[in-house]
Amino acid sequence: MTAPFSPEEIASEGIKPDEYEEIVRRLGRHPNRAELGMFGVMWSEHCCYKNSRPLLKQFPTTGDRILVGPGENAGVVDFGDGLQLAFKIESHNHPSAVEPFQGAATGVGGILRDIFTMGARPIAALNALRFGDLSEPRTRRIFTGVVSGIAHYGNCFGVPTVAGEVYFDPAYAGNPLVNVMAIGLMETPEIVKSGASGIGNPVLYVGSTTGRDGMGGASFASAELSDESEADRPAVQVGDPFLEKSLMEACLEAFKTGAVVAAQDMGAAGITCSTSEMAAKGGVGIDLDLDKIPARETGMVPYEYLLSESQERMLFVAQAGREQELIAIFEKWGLHAVVAGTVIEEPMVRIRFQGAIAAEIPATALADDTPLYHHELMADLPDYVKTARQWSEAQLPDCAVEGLAGDRPQTWSAVLMTLLDSPTIASKRWVYRQYDHQVQNNTVLVPGGADAAVVRLRPQAGPLAAALVNTRRGVAATVDCNARYVYLDPYEGAKAAVAEAARNLSCVGAEPLAVTDNLNFGSPEKPIGYWQLAEACRGLAEGCREFGTPVTGGNVSLYNETLDSHGNPTPIYPTPVVGMVGMVEDVGRVCGQGWRAEGDIIYLLGLTLEQGDGAAEAVTLGASEYLAVVHNTVAGRPPRVDGALERAVQRVCRDGIRQGWVRSAHDSAEGGLAIALTECCISGQRGASVTFPLGQTQAIRWDRVLFGEGGARILVSVDPAMATAWEAYLAETLGDRWQRLGIVGAGTAPLTIDLVGGERLLLAEVAALHGVWSTAIERRLAD
């Protein structure tokens, strides 16, 4: 029988020729238009992970505190005292490239629904953003639109946006990354799952109406961006944060009745995804009548109903006989709630429309038994990596204590100013000042003041609200990834992302617990793209095992490539973002990154300056921000993660904070020690007098000493009265992996870095450093 669709029509749904043949084989017939669309979205990479699923199996996913792992709307961890935390990260990359404001806003809305679908009230949001060169008008338009969209949805909904990261690099010029993470505190007696059960139980559609917005968003998210992508604006959803706030309150109220058997957010692939996933997880079927679905537009056909990604919608399975009880709750909140279907024994997704069957597909064919592709890993390193690894520090201009030599000599103070003016390193105040980070009144450490956010765990409702009104427990959270590291060495770069996330949590005194990851990569169908993905997954898995942080779920976003007018693809840097949560036992015993008091002693934990100079793979200029910004070079190898040293340093930092010895803590990351010292000065509004125990006569690359990255390093400041006890503890726990560096100065003191012989490496007024660092982004936006 001849196919009722042309090859072009099949391809437009994201379905390959051999996949179409498999669909025909499974159905025993050709699909109709609606069914073809259903397979297109559910067999997209965005929904079924057909290229990445085999790689994800290596992630550790179990642990003593893991209550819900991968496979549900969000992971859930046990925080003790009856507190349970749901958290997850998702991407909205392609929609944000086409319609930055709504793309980012609905990304926030989607991740918040994932959280409250579990029965948790969202208490915090974070984001990890990547953009192109900020000097480009298109980048500025996307950047400002994305930030506005995130601020709009989060602020209106009433969730504090407490932390994040923003990188700027030409690699993201055509394809920005918008990853959003949310954390919620369980409010219901039981964790709400998504598997349908109970033959004859009613299926309820609740929330907003269904329209034509967001059509085929899942397929859109699984293809490269091109010059024609602007025409895909209909694939971008439109959100209403005020309606979602009502939806959350109605859902939490409904869950507490015990009448909800299962719940599923309608995100990617809308009704198609929610019906098929709920049915497949429960081993049952769902019979749904589209005529019952509240529509906001006239003349909609089954294909449009099934593929619409209109926002703020949910699907429930209710206990038979209690549907009116639930409907009344949603109507009280001004929301739609209708019985649209039934749970059936036959494991089929059966869709009715105008009295006829519009689609009938086995649930597992859409949600479980989907295509799976195993790609062959490259036997050799890609050429770009081989070329990058030929780079050495010998190719850099000569340097001396005074600064860089060569054709364009610069003092180290001038180099420091150049790095502070880089938008990636510079203050993100322009971004986070648009976010309400204090709503709900539980934010302990605010954006810009610490290496991670800390939020007090104070339930607003439920059985624990009264018992824990004065709780001291908190959650720390961070998102991290240095994509340049991953580009040059996917395995080590991904491990470094886990290590830095754990280090950031440790710098505020939190014990790292669990991870959610967002894998942003190019096409896995290209050998280099798959090699990057496979090696990064291997590194993430190893890193999570080393730090005891199981993966509870996450998101895979592939095909992040831009096609030019000739069809040539340019992929982004491989960017596996790590979202990590940690436990804070006492929110009164946390610390920020800024110096606290004049006279406090500054210590370096991790590889000392002497050790770092001799450890080329541990502290290096390869893959560094200094090399990229000052020398316009992306080459070398990133620093290698020493898991044992990282764990030891982080444990010591946490213990020092809990004991009250450590008054500030900040890790050394992009830009190395010089940038870390500067950020401590700026955040604390105090100078510092630092002495490096090195001599001028030594054959040293002073730029590596100042700006080299790696070494599991953390800067801490300690009250002099505590120094004896602190140093005894350091000697016992870290051996020789620490050193005293200097003293915190007064508010008017500069930052000075001297050598043991008195030679001066760097002198800079903190006000001048702050002036450049704090205005770098605003100045570029004003151009």
**Is the pLDDT score of 376 beyond 80?**
yes
Residue 643: enclosing H or E segment and its boundaries?
helix 643-659
Q: Between β-strands 120-131 and 161-168, what pairing exists: parallel, antiparallel or unpaired?
A: parallel
Give the lowest-confidence range in 14-23, 222-231, 289-298, 685-694. 222-231
**Is the pLDDT score of 222 beyond 90?**
no
Kindly write down the DSSP assignment for every residue of 278-334, as one continuous string.
HHHHHT-EEEEEGGGS-BSSSS--HHHHHH---SSEEEEEE-TT-HHHHHHHHHHTT
Distance CA 151, CA 713 (A): 33
Cα torsion through 420, 424, 428, 431, rounded to 10? 150
How many other CB atoms are there within 10 angstroms of residue 357's CB atom?
12
Residues linked to residue 563 through DSSP beta bridges, in sequence order:
569
Residue 320, CA distances (Å) to 199, 201, 206 in order = 9, 5, 16
**Is the pLDDT score of 422 beyond 60?**
yes
Per-residue pLDDT at 616: 55
Residue 91 structure tokens = 């991407």
The pLDDT tens digits of the residues spanning 630-672 come to: 999 999 999 999 999 999 999 999 999 999 999 999 999 999 9
H helices present in 446-526, as ranges: 483-488, 490-506
Distance CA 300, CA 473 (A): 50
The pLDDT tens digits of the residues spanning 160-170 come to: 999 999 999 99
Residue 100 structure tokens = 């930055």
Task: Kindly list the domain boundaries of the chain, sorted by start residue.
Answer: 1-60+192-370, 396-426+591-783
Residue 495 structure tokens = 């491990």
Residue 549, CA distances (Å) to 168, 443, 455, 490, 544 in order = 28, 24, 20, 19, 5
Q: Which residue has the tokens 């390959």?
A: 16
If DSSP codes are grouped into helix, strand and coil, which group holds residue 589?
Answer: coil
In the chain, count H helices and then E strands.
Answer: 27, 33
**Is the pLDDT score of 122 beyond 80?**
yes
The pLDDT tens digits of the residues spanning 5-39 come to: 999 999 999 999 999 999 999 999 999 999 999 99
Give the lowest-confidence range in 185-189, 192-196, 510-514, 564-568. 564-568
**Is the pLDDT score of 502 beyond 80?**
yes
Kindly write down the DSSP assignment for every residue of 18-52, as one continuous string.
HHHHHHHHHHTS---HHHHHHHHHHTSHHHH-TTT
CA atoms within 13 A on the CB side of 413: 15
How many other CB atoms are there within 10 angstroms of residue 148's CB atom?
15
Per-residue pLDDT at 611: 81
Per-residue pLDDT at 540: 98
pLDDT band at 219 (very low <50, low <70, confident <90, very high): very low
Burial class of residue 499 in the structure, from the number of CB atoms within 10 Å of its CB (0-12 exposed, 13-18 middle, 19+ buried):
buried
Distance CA 483, CA 647 (A): 22
Q: Between β-strands 202-207 and 260-265, what pairing exists: parallel, antiparallel or unpaired?
A: unpaired
Cα–Cα–Cα angle for 236, 238, 239, nearest 5°? Answer: 135
Distance CA 58, CA 51 (A): 14
- Residues 660 and 722 sit within 8 Å (Cβ to Cβ): yes
The CATH topology of domain 396-426+591-783 is: Phosphoribosyl-aminoimidazole Synthetase; Chain A, domain 2 (3.90.650)
Question: What b/e sequence results for 5-28 when a residue is b if at least 16 CB atoms lie within 10 Å of its CB, and e otherwise?
Answer: beeeebeebbbeeebbebbeeebe
Residue 3 structure tokens = 């196919």
Burial class of residue 728 in the structure, from the number of CB atoms within 10 Å of its CB (0-12 exposed, 13-18 middle, 19+ buried):
exposed
Phi, psi of 745 (to 5 degrees): -95, -175
The pLDDT tens digits of the residues spanning 564-610 come to: 767 788 999 999 999 999 999 999 999 999 999 999 999 999 999 98
Distance CA 22, CA 292 (A): 32
Q: Which residue has the tokens 């109220």?
A: 253
**Is the pLDDT score of 350 beyond 70?**
yes
Segment 311-327 shows an average pLDDT of 97
- As a whole number of Å, the end-to-end CA separation of the chain is 62
Closest CA to 159 of 120, 119, 209: 120
If DSSP codes are grouped into helix, strand and coil, which group holds residue 664?
Answer: strand
Per-residue pLDDT at 234: 57
How many other CB atoms are there within 10 angstroms of residue 283's CB atom?
14
Closest CA to 727 of 708, 740, 743: 740
Per-residue pLDDT at 218: 47
Question: What b/e sequence results for 56-88 when a residue is b if at least 16 CB atoms lie within 10 Å of its CB, and e otherwise?
Answer: bebbbbebebbebbbebbbbbbbbeeebbbbbb
Sheet containing 410-411, strands listed edge to edge, beginning at the edge strand earlier in sequence: 399-400, 403-404, 410-411
Q: Do the domains at 1-60+192-370 and 396-426+591-783 have one common CATH topology?
A: yes
Per-residue pLDDT at 390: 97
Kindly write down the DSSP assignment for every residue of 538-573, as one continuous string.
HHHHHHHHHHT--EEEEEEE---EEE-TT--EEEPP
Per-residue pLDDT at 568: 82
Distance CA 86, CA 747 (A): 42
| Active-site residue set | 46, 92
This model's pTM is above 0.85: yes
Closest CA to 351 of 288, 408, 427: 288
Per-residue pLDDT at 713: 98
Distance CA 251, CA 116 (A): 8
pLDDT band at 221 (very low <50, low <70, confident <90, very high): very low
H helices present in 308-411, as ranges: 323-332, 363-367, 383-389
Q: Given 3-state DSSP classes, what are the helix, strand and coil percentages for the chain, each rounded to the nearest 5?
A: 35, 25, 40
Closest CA to 186 of 112, 84, 258: 84
Residue 453 structure tokens = 């956010």
**Is the pLDDT score of 224 beyond 70?**
no
CA 711 to chain centre: 24
Radius of gyration of the chain (CA): 27
**Is the pLDDT score of 615 beyond 80?**
no
**Cα dihedral 226, 231, 234, 239 sign:** positive
If DSSP codes are grouped into helix, strand and coil, which group holds residue 703?
Answer: helix
If DSSP codes are grouped into helix, strand and coil, which group holds residue 199?
Answer: coil
Is the domain spanning 1-60+192-370 CATH 3.40.50.300? The answer is: no
Residue 75, CA distances (Å) to 52, 118, 163, 516, 551 in order = 19, 9, 19, 8, 8
Phi, psi of 563 (to 5 degrees): -95, 130
Phi, psi of 626 (to 5 degrees): -60, -45
- Residues 448 and 685 sit within 8 Å (Cβ to Cβ): no
pLDDT band at 233 (very low <50, low <70, confident <90, very high): very low
H helices present in 685-722, as ranges: 702-707
Reported residue count of the chain is 783
Q: Which residue has the tokens 């961890």?
A: 77
